[in-house]
Amino acid sequence: MAVLIRSCSSKSYGTNLTAPFQNPSIKRKNKLHRLGSSLTPNHGSICFFDGLICKVSSCVPDSDISTKEKLDNTIWSHEIKFCSNIPIKQSCSTDKEDKLQADSKHKDITLHFLEETDEKTLSKRLVALSRSNKTRSAFELYLSMEAFNLMPDAHACNSLLSCLLRNGSLPHALEVFDKMSRRDIATGHTYTLVLKAIAKNKGCDAAISLFNKLERDDSTKGKLDAVVYNTMFSIYAKSKDWVEAEKLWRELGKNSIKGTQLTYDLLISTFVQCSCADLAVEAYHESIRFGFEPSEATMKAIIATCTQEGNWEVALVVLRKMLDRGIKPNLIAFNSVINCLGKACQPDLAFSVYRTLNLSGLQPDMYTWYSLLSALYRSNRYLEVVKLFQRVKREAKSELDSHVYNVALLACQKQGLWAQALQLLWDMERCEVEVSTQSYNHVIFSCEDGGEVEVAFEVYRHMVQLGCDGDDFTYMSLIRCSISGSLWDEFLEILKHHIPSDASSYYIIHELCLQGMIGLAKSICAAMLKLGFKPDAKTRTLMLQHF
């Protein structure tokens, strides 16, 4: 059974099968194969294409073949007849959507002449080629079917679309998508594939623009399922666009689309990344209300964002839910909850979480101890802070850092335990823990509160010898110590190195006047006036009264 081709003229086209079936932009190559001795060149050629056999006659002009048809710019404007009189659909439509445009991107594409005309059979073959990653063959079969006015089904087109995208053929994939859209056979899976590909290759903004266009189109609204929405949620998460993510989330209910577990995981992730704690918690509670079980990563994210915002109630509930489900929280989650409880002045709950941490087999680190000590300190339980520090110092398997020492020094300062504070300072230096100006200040303040003004100056001199400079708090404490202890030499020594602020100057002049040191107060006042000192009303009254 051979294909007879009606030529448009008596001109010979040679041995290459080119012109009568060829669009100017598409090169149609026909692979010639021998089919045994029964066929000779005069009997025609056979084109094999992955199981599709097209028998094509020679293009040598035949006087028996009518030439009344004229060749135009359409692909199949001429008649095609088989010897067996089996009719083939003609693609004579002049509509733009039924024509294959002459485009340079098809210059290397080969169209094949199909003997099989059953759309279901050809669709199955298209699926098989696409799954085998035979991109070129699949796309040529698709175009050949279109040339014969045969339309693959939606499943076959989606398979081809996926194959083209996997192999980096985005322009061809968009061409297939456009034709599927115009013929109204695009599905939710189609939109998901295309949106992901556009976001990857052209950016999130291009994908968002396409999705907004699809949403406005009435013909596609019913096809945008939860998977398509999840694709957009993932794109919003990547671009950290929580505003659009929230809008799309609100539209789910309006469009009667029920979100999936992935929907809420993506929403929570987006809101957490954008520091929208309230929205993240709302999405979490909604997922629970709809019967979904949040993933471990989602629950950890909720704990992190709640502890950052000080929402210890939700953080504690989520932590307990993780334990009830048999999920073992990591040390970071435990420490975050303990620290949040400490800031909320809930030391008892903090120690309850700490005991759970121990039962889970995890070992506390420096952040754990710091959080527990801070919880006690914020609750004004200063003696318990000192006791816990001594215990931690004995039991800790690693050296304590400066943050843990500073909490203990603060507790000593509040209780006026200058001896314990001094001992902690020597321990820090002996263990080569970094000692900052703040640490020295805690010790100096403890000596001031304990009435050990001379010890405070010794600590200051030791601090200077080690190359650590004091700050305003340091000098103000030393000035108070010198005035209360009548250490005037030390007082003048401090004034040489530090110019008091206005508030400090008020205090100095007032104290000197109260102690009868009028001459010294007058000298200091005169020096400060030259430096731009502006006394307040009370100071001016004292100056007028005594000077």
pLDDT per residue as tens, the chain (547 positions): 333 233 333 333 333 333 333 333 333 333 333 323 333 333 333 344 343 434 333 333 333 323 333 323 333 333 333 333 333 333 333 333 434 443 445 556 778 888 888 889 999 999 999 999 888 898 989 998 888 888 889 999 999 999 999 998 899 999 999 989 888 889 889 999 999 999 998 988 899 889 888 888 878 877 888 899 999 999 999 888 899 899 999 988 777 788 899 999 999 999 999 989 999 999 999 999 999 988 899 999 999 999 999 999 999 999 999 999 999 999 999 999 999 999 999 999 999 999 999 998 899 999 999 999 999 999 999 999 999 999 998 887 677 889 999 999 999 999 989 999 999 999 999 888 889 999 999 999 999 988 899 999 999 999 999 888 888 888 888 888 887 887 878 877 777 776 666 556 667 777 777 777 777 777 777 766 766 666 777 777 766 776 6
The first and second tokens of residue 249, run together, are 């989330």
| 102 and 23 Cβ atoms separated by less than 8 Å | yes
d(CA 15, CA 508): 112
The predicted structure's pLDDT at residue 532:
66
The whole-angstrom separation of Cα 326 and Cα 348 is: 24
Residue 318 makes CB contacts below 8 A (sequence gap 6+) with: 284, 299, 302, 303, 306
Measured CA to CA, the distance from residue 174 to residue 438 in angstroms comes to 64
Report the pLDDT value the prediction gives residue 52, as an integer from 0 to 100. Answer: 40
Q: What is the dihedral angle through the alpha carbons of 92, 96, 97, 101, rounded to the nearest 10 degrees? A: 90
Whole-angstrom distance, CA of residue 60 vs CA of residue 182: 40
> What sign does the CA torsion over 309, 310, 312, 313 have?
negative
Nearest 5 degrees, angle CA 274-CA 275-CA 277?
Answer: 125
Instruction: Look at the pTM and tell me if it is higher than 0.85.
Output: no
What per-residue confidence (pLDDT) applies to 519? 75
Degrees, nearest 5: CA angle 327-328-333: 115
| Structure confidence at residue 407 (pLDDT) | 95
Please report how many Cα atoms fall inside a 13 Å half-sphere around the Cα of residue 443, on the Cβ side. 27
**Is the distance from CB of 212 to CB of 224 less than 8 angstroms?**
no
Q: What is the pLDDT of residue 394?
A: 86
Q: What is the H or E stretch that residue 230 is in? A: helix 226-239
Contact present, 50 and 129 (Cβ < 8 Å): yes
The sign of the CA dihedral 20, 21, 25, 31 is: negative
E-assigned strand segments in 148-270: none
Cα(287)–Cα(223) distance, integer angstroms: 24
Q: Is 46 helix (H, G, I), strand (E, B) or coil?
A: strand
Nearest to residue 187, comparing CAs of 163, 213, 153? 153
Q: What is the pLDDT of residue 27?
A: 37
- How far apart are alpha carbons 246 and 442 in whole angstroms? 48
Q: What pLDDT score does 257 carry?
A: 82
- Kindly provide the b/e burial profile for residues 399-436, where b requires at least 16 CB atoms within 10 angstroms of the residue's own CB: ebbeebbbbbbbbbbbbbbbebbbebbeebeeeebebe
Cα–Cα distance between 226 and 191 in angstroms, integer? 12
- C-beta of residue 177 within 8 angstroms of C-beta of residue 142: no
> Within 13 Å and on the Cβ side, how many CA atoms surround 508?
30
Interatomic CA distance for residues 330 and 299, integer angstroms? 12
Q: How far is CA 57 from CA 3, 47, 65, in A?
A: 5, 11, 12
What is the rounded distance in angstroms from the CA atom of residue 109 to the CA atom of residue 171?
A: 14
